[in-house]
């Protein structure tokens, strides 16, 4: 059983700078008459670039169409020899202002006879960047932050937790804090909470969460100085907070703050863990299980393995200081997104 120190118990957020962003917004357009995928793709690229959205060049589109932000796909395929249809979905990435989205939609209206526009999903990200200048140490600090965020997240979206691209023969030690730090440091681990897409016959969840060490962007390596720890949420279906232009204009990101909220150990619990051998033993045991320590779920599902979580950890309380910062940062992002609106 590894020893537990005060340093392991307390997360020092001052070692990081953090920021929020809208990673992407999914749009569904319905046309009055059929069109083909190539035409709509070209129109979306032209309109998006005109209003400053981050759209890669044609070479990227050919290399990686599935991962590309301008990957246009018909959501309803009609029986037509040319593969034409009326309904298309696409994602707009790296949005700085709501006006960019509205101007892009208006430009498409001018080019195509659109009968309906819907917003069907949105992804909101929180990035942490270590202030450590040495890259190896910064990467380790990113891993420690991710492990802490997972263990102390206040509102997991689901009891379905998945570790991307890894298969386990045993659940012993899986997702312990030490295991998480080691694998996040290697940047080979992504934890999904809930499903962004259909998975093993299950429907996508209205809210899905993801934690990972971001070292690439759209399959391209990032400069090491821009590596960061990322926690993101996807809202879709019943979880989507708006569906039309009016809803987008009124949308306030701070209404989704609870998805990012964190818990912490109470001061009394920290002292108990530090100086009471029995409490220390219980806390170390809690560090070996996969679930966040602040919730009352009886178990979590990881692939075919179900891990028992146990009872609510009583020495936990809301991290009011950090959660207040989360809400304030989201309020500031809302103000920034609303700039340039008439």
pLDDT in tens, 40-92: 888 888 888 888 886 554 433 333 334 444 445 555 433 333 567 888 888 88
Q: Which residues contact 271 (CB under 8 A, 6 or more apart)?
A: none
Given this model, what pLDDT does residue 68 score? Answer: 42
Using the structure block, give the residue that is written with the tokens 């987008």. Answer: 248
Higher per-residue pLDDT: 148 or 233: 233
Say if CB 253 and CB 222 are below 8 A apart: no
The answer to whether 152 touches 186, Cβ cutoff 8 Å, is no
Name which of 91-105, 154-168, 202-216 the model is least confident about.
Answer: 154-168
Count of Cβ atoms closer than 10 Å to residue 133 Cβ: 8
Return the pLDDT at 217: 79
Of 9 and 100, the one with more pLDDT: 100
* Percent of the chain whose predicted confidence (pLDDT) is above 70: 73
26-30, 116-120, 131-135, 298-302 — which is least confidently predicted?
A: 298-302
Of the candidate ranges 92-96, 278-282, 288-292, the one whose mean pLDDT is the lowest:
288-292
| 247 has pLDDT over 90 | yes
Across the range 120-132, mean pLDDT stands at 95
- Specify the pLDDT at position 126: 97
What is the pTM (predicted TM-score) of this model? 0.84
Higher pLDDT, residue 299 or 150:
150
Pair 18, 128: CB distance under 8 Å: yes
- As a whole number, mean pLDDT of residues 244-273 equals 90
Nearest CA-CA partner of 213 in 230, 234, 233: 230
Q: At what angle do helices 177-185 and 135-152 cross, to 10 degrees?
A: 140
pLDDT at 330 > cutoff 70: yes
* Residue 156 near residue 292, CB atoms below 8 Å: yes
Mean pLDDT of 131-142: 88
Closest CA to 326 of 254, 269, 270, 264: 254
Per-residue pLDDT band at 249 (split at 50, 70, 90):
very high
What is the token pair recorded at 2? 């590894």
Whether 167 shows a pLDDT value over 70: the answer reads no
Q: Which residues contact 153 (CB under 8 A, 6 or more apart)?
A: 209, 261, 262, 263, 292, 294
Percent of the chain with pLDDT over 90: 32
**What pLDDT does 284 receive?**
67
Q: Give the Cα separation of 64 and 91 in Å (integer).
A: 15
Residue 257: pLDDT band by 50, 70, 90 thresholds? very high
207 neighbors 239 (Cβ within 8 angstroms): yes
Lowest-confidence range among 59-68, 130-139, 240-249, 265-274?
59-68
Residue 296 has pLDDT above 70, yes or no: no
Question: What does the pLDDT average to over 248-268?
Answer: 92
Give backbone dihedrals phi and psi of 214, rounded to 5 degrees, phi first: -85, 105
Mean pLDDT value across residues 181-192: 79
Question: In the chain, what are the domains?
Answer: 6-19+128-264+317-337 (no CATH), 22-122 (3.30.70.260)
Q: What is the 3-state secondary structure (H, E, C) of the chain?
A: CCCCCHHHHCCCHHHEEEEEEEEEEEEEEEEEEEECHHHHHHHHHHHHHHCCCCCCCHHHHHHCCCCCCCCCEEEECCCCCCCCEEEEEEEEECCCCHHHHHHHHHHHHHHCCEEEEEEEEEEEEEEEEECCCCHHHHHHHHHHHHHHHHHHECCCCCCEEEECCCCCCCCCCCCCHHHHHHHHHCCCCEEEECCCCCECCECCCCEEEEEEEECEECCEECCHHHCEEEEEEEEEHHHCCCCCHHHHHHCCHHHHHHHHCEEEECHHHHHHHHHCHHHHHHHHHHCCCCCCCCCCCCEEEECCEEEECCCCCCCEEECHHHHHHHHHHHHHHHHHHCCCCC
Question: pLDDT tens digits, residue range 187-219?
Answer: 767 888 888 887 667 788 999 999 999 988 777
Q: Cα–Cα distance between 24 and 32 in angstroms, integer?
A: 26
Q: Which residue has the higher pLDDT, 290 or 267?
A: 267
Give the mean model confidence (pLDDT) for residues 141-153. 88
User: Looking at 134-138, 178-182, 295-299, which range is the least confident one?
Assistant: 295-299
Whole-number average pLDDT of the chain: 78
């Amino acid at each position: 059983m590894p020893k537990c120190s005060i340093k392991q118990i307390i997360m020092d957020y001052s070692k990081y700078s953090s920021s929020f962003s809208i990673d992407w917004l999914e749009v569904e357009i319905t046309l009055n008459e059929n069109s083909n995928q190539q035409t709509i793709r070209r129109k979306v690229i032209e309109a998006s670039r005109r209003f400053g959205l981050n759209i890669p060049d044609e070479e990227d589109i050919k290399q990686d169409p599935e991962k590309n932000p301008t990957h246009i796909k018909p959501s309803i395929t009609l029986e037509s020899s040319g593969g034409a249809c009326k309904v298309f979905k696409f994602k707009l990435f790296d949005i700085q202002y709501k006006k960019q989205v509205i101007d892009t939609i208006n430009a498409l209206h001018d080019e195509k006879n659109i009968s309906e526009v819907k917003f069907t999903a949105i992804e909101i990200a929180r990035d942490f960047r270590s202030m450590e200048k040495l890259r190896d140490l910064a990467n380790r600090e990113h891993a420690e932050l991710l492990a802490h965020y997972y263990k102390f997240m206040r509102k997991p979206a689901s009891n379905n937790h998945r570790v991307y691209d890894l298969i386990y023969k045993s659940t012993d030690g899986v997702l312990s804090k030490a295991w998480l730090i080691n694998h996040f440091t290697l940047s080979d681990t992504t934890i999904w909470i809930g499903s962004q897409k259909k998975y093993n016959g299950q429907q996508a969840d209205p809210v899905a969460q993801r934690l990972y060490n971001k070292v690439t962007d759209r399959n391209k390596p990032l400069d090491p100085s821009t590596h960061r720890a990322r926690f993101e949420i996807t809202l879709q279906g019943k979880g989507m907070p708006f569906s039309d232009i009016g809803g987008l204009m009124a949308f306030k990101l701070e209404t989704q703050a609870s998805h990012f909220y964190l818990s912490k150990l109470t001061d009394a619990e920290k002292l108990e863990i530090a100086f009471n051998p029995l409490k220390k033993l219980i806390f170390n045991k809690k560090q070996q299980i996969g679930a966040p320590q602040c919730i009352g779920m009886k178990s979590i599902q990881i692939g075919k393995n179900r891990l028992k979580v146990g009872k609510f950890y009583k020495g936990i309380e809301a991290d009011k200081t950090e959660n207040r910062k989360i809400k304030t940062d989201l309020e500031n992002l809302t103000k920034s997104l609303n700039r340039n609106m008439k």
